[in-house]
Amino acid sequence: MFFERDLNIKQKKMLDMFTESLLTDLQVNISGKKKTTFGFEIEFLPVEIINIKQVEKICLILPELGFRNSGNGFLSNTGLCITFEPGGQIEFCSPPIKGSDFVKFDDFLNQIAETNGKIFKRLGIKYRCTSFIPNRAGIDLCLEGTRYKFMHKRFKTSGTRGREMMKGTAAVHLHAGLKSINELPVIYKTLCMLSKSKDFSMSDERRDIWQNTDPARCRMPDIDLNNIANNPGRLLRGIVHHALCVEDLYSSIPLYEMNDIGFDYFKEHLTTLFSDVRLNLKGPSLELRTMDSHPLPEMAEKWPKFVSIIRALPDIC
């Protein structure tokens, strides 16, 4: 662990540079947003173990089910996107949704259920909403990307249950979009609180997997939440410092000890961290990652709770 007080000149420069770049990047991408929007990702585990060939078969029929290959997944005309995880999990990602548009949210849930049903009918591959299926750590990867291969290799030694996390778990991620940089501290603190609440926390079983996956990658940044009040820059500095302390996925060297790291590389590195609450630059949004995957009717109950909590915060609409 690197303590900020002990950083050398080069490391302090990295921290200052990436904090300023991240702040600028967020401000540019937030600019012009008038309303707070929300989003979700929900993963389903295959009931039976599947392999990469079966995932490829699913991909081949997705255009017939209304999803076109967008390069980063399969996108429908409604904005719903499908991607896959290393254990063959199918993940549905929503586009931004207005907080008041519960009809659109219900339509997405119906589309998800219908799509999974058609996959089962066509290919016999059944997907299930559940947080964990045991005994999948040793199965083959269902994805060929370099990122996943390096992660799989790392998880052999960085913890004891990382490969179970990759291939045997499923989650729901909830996004609160940002329309002002000044919203960052209050939404971040709120999501940290929700991550420990009855409705939005991990099950004990999945938490044990998480804590034994990769100690640095899965740990929350060490940030004094009482000291970030109305100071988004201070929060971002804590997030950046934490990321720079974590070992690079490909070289196993902490970013603080690497040379010539550009901002794009740093942003990619951020996506390899699995903390309970994470900054997502695509929205941009803050992302709550603790909820277990569960049946869609329960998702329909928890979504309005999440939306109402965020919308009740000061200056959020």
Q: Measured between alpha carbons, how far is 281 from 22 in angstroms, rounded to an integer?
A: 9
pLDDT at 317: 66
> Measuring CA to CA, how many Å separate 17 from each of 22, 31, 69, 235, 240?
9, 21, 36, 15, 10
Sequence-separated contacts (24+) of 47-51 with Cβ below 8 Å: 47/126, 47/127, 47/128, 47/133, 48/125, 48/126, 49/88, 49/136, 49/139, 50/88, 50/125, 50/142, 51/88, 51/139, 51/140, 51/142
pLDDT in tens, the chain (317 residues): 799 999 999 999 999 999 999 999 999 999 888 888 999 999 999 999 999 999 999 999 999 999 999 998 999 999 999 999 999 999 999 999 999 999 999 999 999 999 999 999 999 999 999 999 999 999 999 999 999 999 999 999 999 999 999 999 999 999 999 999 999 999 999 999 999 999 999 999 999 999 999 988 999 999 999 888 789 999 999 999 999 999 999 999 999 999 999 999 999 999 999 999 999 998 899 999 999 999 999 999 999 999 999 999 987 76
Bridge partners for 173 per DSSP: 41
CB of 145 closer than 8 Å to CB of 19: no
Q: Coil, helix or strand for 128?
A: strand
The pair phi, psi for residue 167, each rounded to 5°, is -115, -10
The distance of Cα 117 from the centroid of its chain, to the nearest Å, equals 25
SS3 41: strand
Write down how long the chain is: 317
Which domains does the chain show, CATH number per domain? 4-306 (3.30.590.20)
Residue 175 dihedral angles phi and psi, to the nearest 5°: -115, 135
Strand segments, DSSP code E, in 133-271 are 171-177
Euclidean distance between the first and the last CA atom of the chain, given in angstroms as a whole number? 39
pLDDT at 208: 97
Q: What is the C-alpha separation between 178 and 187, in angstroms, rounded?
A: 9
What is the three-class DSSP state of 133? Answer: coil
